[in-house]
Every structure is written in C-alpha cells, then in structure tokens.
Amino acid sequence: MRPGVHVRPVSSVDLEDLVDLCLQARAESGVGRQLCSDDRDRLREHLSVLAAAPDGLTLVATCDGEPAGLVLGRLLGPGLLSDTVVLSLDAVYVRPQLRRRGLGHAMLQAVAETAEATGVTDVYAAPLPGSRGMQRFLARLGFAPAAAHRVVSTGALLRRLALDLPAPSARRGGTRGLEDLIERRRRARARALGEETLARQGTASMSMQVRRAVHNRRPSSSSTTTS
C-alpha cells in the first residue's frame, strides 16, 4: 500500500463522504437509477443499513486524508442451491483525479483479506457500465467473466410481453393447423396400408390362378403310325 493510502470499514462519520462518492459514481457511469438513488437522504439511509448489516461490506479509501474511493458488497450464501459463501461486490469506485495511486489495489487487498477471514470461496464483482479501466484492472487481478446481467423496467417488460403474446385467433388457428396435419398423416398411413393390402391380395390371387392352370393342364397325346 502506498504512503497516504488507507482503507477502513465505513463508520457513521464517513456516511456523507460515501454519499458524495456514490453520487459521483452515478453521474460518471451514466446508468442513473440502476446504480443508486440520487436522493441524498434515501441514499444515506441505504448506506447506513448496508454498513450495519452482518452480511454487508462497506469500505472507504482515503488518499492523504481525502475520501477517494469506496467498496460496497455483500456476503451471499449458503443458499437453497449452493452450500458455499461468496462475496459479491456491487461497486468498486475511485475518484477520477485520484486514480493510478494504488487505491484500487489497496481496496481489493482489503476485500481479499475479508473474504479469506469469512471463509468465502469466490469473489464476484460488477464493474460500473462503461468503466473500461476498472474492467481491465479486475481482469489483471484474475477476475474472469462469470455471467451477463440484463435489465428492463417493469413497465417495458409488461408492454413487451403484451406485444409478444399471440392473438387468441392465431393460437386457435395454430392448434387447428396441427390437428389437420395429424389427420392428413393418419389418412396417408391408412391409404398406404390399404394399397399394400390390395397388392398382397392381388399377388395371392395370381398365384392361385397359376396353380389352377397347372392342375387342369392335360398331357399332350403323342401321334403314332402303324404300318
């Protein structure tokens, strides 16, 4: 850790600085409400709840005594589908003017030590959208792609679902079309079976006729000459 860089758990005296950092990260990322609220009072309340939660992780980094970065995360698990505990980092942020001073490395060092102390098996990170520098930084530290997240507003989802739903008449027509197809195939099989049966009957009849002809055939009388 470089001189002048310190990382510590957030205390009540850090909340206002943490609110400022979150709002600056919100403005820089451009994703708006997907990151955090822009209401200071509400944001302060959310951060205080996260800092007090047993599974919450809130770290603040300072550079020469100035608030410079933050880490927000949560311990997850064990759950219904997994018996392991993971650490999910919701935000890792450093003020633009204080980057490249070892703050990110110092914060991730504190994260790794916390993960080891709590028995965490994996650390997940969700870099802010558009933060290519943080993406490269995490990749350099060994973070690999794990999953892709997609987001949609509830209103937009409801509208898209309504547009994507087939009309009732179309659904009935589709069902009827399937029934017609099954019926056509059934008829084709019956027709093919009938033709095969007729062919077998025709073959049997011809064989019977041949046997009758052979049976009724009389031997030819030979002509003799007497002198």
Q: What is the rounded CA–CA span in Å between residue 195 and residue 182?
A: 20
Q: What is the rounded CA–CA span in Å between residue 35 and residue 43?
A: 11
pLDDT-based confidence at residue 84 (cuts at 50, 70, 90): confident
- Determine the straight-line distance between the first and last CA of the chain, rounded to whole angstroms: 143
Q: What is the rounded CA–CA span in Å between residue 87 and residue 77?
A: 9
pLDDT of residue 169: 55
Long-range contacts of 114-122 (CB under 8 A, 24+ apart): 114/57, 114/87, 115/87, 118/75, 118/85, 118/87, 119/85, 120/75, 120/85, 120/86, 120/87, 121/84, 121/85, 121/86, 122/84, 122/86, 122/87
Of 21-30, 67-76, 91-100, 161-170, the poorest mean pLDDT is in 161-170
Q: Please give the CATH architecture assigned to the domain spanning 5-149.
A: 3-Layer(aba) Sandwich (3.40)
Query: Using one digit for the tens of pLDDT, what is the confidence trace for 193-213?
Result: 766 665 566 555 555 554 555
pLDDT-based confidence at residue 217 (cuts at 50, 70, 90): low
pLDDT of residue 226: 39
Query: Using one digit for the tens of pLDDT, what is the confidence trace for 159-195?
Result: 888 887 665 554 555 556 677 777 777 777 777 776 6
pLDDT of residue 174: 54
Provide the sign of the torsion angle of the four alpha carbons 31, 139, 77, 110, taken in this order: negative
pLDDT of residue 123: 93
pLDDT of residue 224: 43
Percent of the chain with pLDDT over 90: 37
Question: What average pLDDT does range 136-140 have in this prediction?
Answer: 90
pLDDT of residue 222: 43
Question: What average pLDDT does range 74-96 have in this prediction?
Answer: 85
